């Protein structure tokens, strides 16, 4: 794969350039590939040391938490501490910059790290929740996260906090296997995809449902869809286009093109 270094090296279809500059409502849909460029391990890659003895699905279910809350809470706090030590990358920053210049932008993410917010994106629809927004297992009250685990001490079992209102255990604020995606966020995501003029799908393979429906909804509604991914994807519409490469390299070039006179 030859790296793309300048806007002129990208073979933009003329119709896409026109659509990109005239679009009134953009949707940006991001997946794990964006976070990976900041150095965040993917979900399965995060299983090292103590955690390497476990299948990730054994650590990411309600049943696992009820069976061994110290194990599950410790793993998620270890992950959160790791996330807090990395910075948003140029892809996150380019999306935030794009939002400041286009008429309307809806940002939808499958990531749980809040790097979009840290890059300056003001409003994000989280389909899989957030590591930084724990809630009570019993009454669902949202709580501020505690101080994260000191990862210099290595992976540790850690007892979860207790809700001051009802005494229930505090659980990580992410969507676990077997749980439904948050209804409000998913509804808003589907509505935005069906109403947008142009959708960017960044760092996601688009094979996990129901989130995979988001680019499909946009394409079926007549929007242009551009995929930014290191791997070639199957395109199902004449209005779909792919830029093959790293999001941190390509998204700033795309923003440069949008803002070009």
pLDDT tens, position by position, 206-251? 777 888 899 999 999 999 999 998 877 767 777 888 888 999 999 9
Q: From first to last of the 261 residues of the chain, give the pLDDT tens digit.
A: 344 444 445 666 677 788 888 999 999 999 999 999 998 876 666 566 655 677 777 789 999 999 999 999 998 998 898 899 999 999 999 999 999 999 999 999 999 999 999 999 989 999 999 999 999 999 999 988 877 777 666 678 899 999 999 999 999 999 999 999 999 999 999 999 999 999 999 998 777 788 889 999 999 999 999 999 887 776 777 788 888 899 999 999 888 888 875
Question: Do the Cβ atoms of 214 and 58 come closer than 8 Å?
Answer: no
CB-count burial class (<10 Å; 0-12, 13-18, 19+) for 242: middle
Give pLDDT, residue 2.
Answer: 40
| Domain range summary for the chain, segments of one domain joined by + | 11-39+88-132+181-261, 41-85+135-171
Answer yes or no: is 139 a known binding residue.
yes
b/e burial code for range 28-55 (CB count within 10 A of at least 16 → b): bbbbbbbbbbbebeebeebbeeebeebe
**How many CB atoms are closer than 10 A to CB 120?**
14
Give pLDDT, residue 152.
Answer: 66
Answer yes or no: is 53 a known binding residue.
no
Give pLDDT, residue 65.
Answer: 96
Please tell me which residue in 128, 132, 133, 227 is annotated as part of the active site: 128
Are domains 11-39+88-132+181-261 and 41-85+135-171 of this chain identical in fold? Answer: no
Fold that domain 11-39+88-132+181-261 belongs to in CATH: Rossmann fold (3.40.50)
Answer yes or no: is 166 a known binding residue.
yes
What CATH number has the domain spanning 41-85+135-171? 3.30.1600.10
Q: 143: which DSSP letter?
A: -
Q: Is 133 a catalytic residue?
A: no
Give pLDDT, residue 5.
Answer: 42
How is residue 139 written in tokens?
């009454």
Give pLDDT, residue 7.
Answer: 47
Q: What is the pTM of this model?
A: 0.90
Give pLDDT, residue 112.
Answer: 95
Answer yes or no: is 204 a known binding residue.
yes
* HSE (side-chain half, CA atoms, 13 Å) at 198: 22
Calculate the alpha carbon distances from 207 to 210, 212, 261 in Å.
9, 6, 37
């Amino acid at each position: 794969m030859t790296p793309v270094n300048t806007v002129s090296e990208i073979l933009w279809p003329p119709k896409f350039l026109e659509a990109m500059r005239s679009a009134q409502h953009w949707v940006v849909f991001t997946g794990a590939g964006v976070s990976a460029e900041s150095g965040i391990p993917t979900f399965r890659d995060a299983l090292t040391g103590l955690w390497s003895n476990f299948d990730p699905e054994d650590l990411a279910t309600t049943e696992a938490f009820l069976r061994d809350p110290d194990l599950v809470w410790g793993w998620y706090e270890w992950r959160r501490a790791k996330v807090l030590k990395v910075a948003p990358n140029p892809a996150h920053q380019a999306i935030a910059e794009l939002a400041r210049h286009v008429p309307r932008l809806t940002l939808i993410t499958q990531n749980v790290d809040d790097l979009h917010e840290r890059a300056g994106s003001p409003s994000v629809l989280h389909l899989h929740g957030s590591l930084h927004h724990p809630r009570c297992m019993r009454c669902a009250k949202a709580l501020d996260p505690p101080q994260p685990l000191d990862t210099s001490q290595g992976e540790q079992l850690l007892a979860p906090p207790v809700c001051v209102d009802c005494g229930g255990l505090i659980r990580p604020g992410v969507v676990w296997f077997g749980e439904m995606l948050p209804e409000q966020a998913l509804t808003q995501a589907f509505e935005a995809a069906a109403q947008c003029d142009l959708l960017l799908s960044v760092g996601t393979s688009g094979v996990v449902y129901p989130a995979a429906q988001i680019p499909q909804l946009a394409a079926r509604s007549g929007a242009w869809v551009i995929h930014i991914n290191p791997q070639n994807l199957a395109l199902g519409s004449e209005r779909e286009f792919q830029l093959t490469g790293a999001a941190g390299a390509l998204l700033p070039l795309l923003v440069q093109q949008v803002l070009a006179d």
